Amino acid sequence: MTPFLWGAWTRILLLVGCLFIVPAGLPAHAQSPDSTPTMHILAFGDSLTAGYRLGPQKSFASRLEAALLQEGYDVRVTNAGISGDTTSAGRSRLAWSLEDTPHLVILELGANDALRGIDPAIIRDNLAAMIKACLATGSRVLLCGITPPGNFGPQYARTFSAMYEELAEQFTIPLYPAFLKDILGNPRLTLDDGLHPNPQGVDKMVANILPQVTSLLDDIMSESVHSLEHDRPD
């Protein structure tokens, strides 16, 4: 082989070799061990979470995920809402939803209990059990309050509303006081039943709750970084 051809092949081999060089200790296309994982949010609730009559892409979970991605968060939101669910039904199925150990659980249940006039003591016991189960897996919880209907009297409404505040204080978890804030009573933001949000209503729900969710995600990511730094060998 002539010196010219030998030199050309040498340059080609060096160039190809450079394409496969990766930082020491890291496989190609892999994340650094110090990088935070994709955040997983479990939206656990009833028809208000599920997206009643809206379709999956217009549900609260889907719209929340889209809003968080737009804000720059690496996140996925699982829609674990089932229309008609009471707190008793939610309690019975929660363990399966927690198997993936979400970073954050948005817990929204109680509306169907209130519509049926179920004893607030029973509702509270179910919610408390679900909160305990979430915390036991290491998941953070954002408890969402529900505005009760007035057809069971003012005393029922007061006891029902206070229940969410008391649970948040008992377990030292954040409370989003009214999941349907600005939605109820606004025909432009609800379906023809006057109760469930339409697509515009869902977007309003997401816009209202977004600051609290992003604040929690920031806290979780900060804790994750500190944990990685603490566990890193000297």
- 109-127 pLDDT, tens digit each: 999 999 999 999 999 999 9
- The catalytically annotated residue of 47, 59, 139, 161 is 47
Cα–Cα distance for residue pair 214/70, rounded to 1 Å: 12
Residue among 103, 62, 100, 54 at smallest CA distance from 79: 62
pTM to 2 decimal places: 0.82
**Does residue 3 have a pLDDT over 90?**
no
Residue among 118, 177, 192 at smallest CA distance from 149: 118
Please give the residue that has the higher pLDDT: either 29 or 191: 191
**Mean pLDDT, residues 125-141:** 99
Q: Is 218 a catalytic residue?
A: no
pLDDT at 76: 98
Cα–Cα distance for residue pair 109/85, rounded to 1 Å: 8
Q: Is 196 a catalytic residue?
A: yes
Please give the residue that has the higher pLDDT: either 216 or 56: 216
Is residue 59 within 8 Å of residue 81, measured between CB atoms?
yes
**Does residue 52 have a pLDDT over 50?**
yes
**Does residue 150 have a pLDDT over 80?**
yes
User: How many CB atoms sit inside 10 A of residue 140's CB?
Assistant: 19
Residue among 33, 115, 112, 64 at smallest CA distance from 127: 112
Least reliable range by pLDDT among 29-43, 55-69, 197-211: 29-43
Cα–Cα distance for residue pair 137/70, rounded to 1 Å: 28
4-28 per-position pLDDT tens digit: 333 433 333 333 333 333 333 322 2
Domains (range + CATH), the chain: 36-231 (3.40.50.1110)
- The catalytically annotated residue of 192, 193, 231, 234 is 193
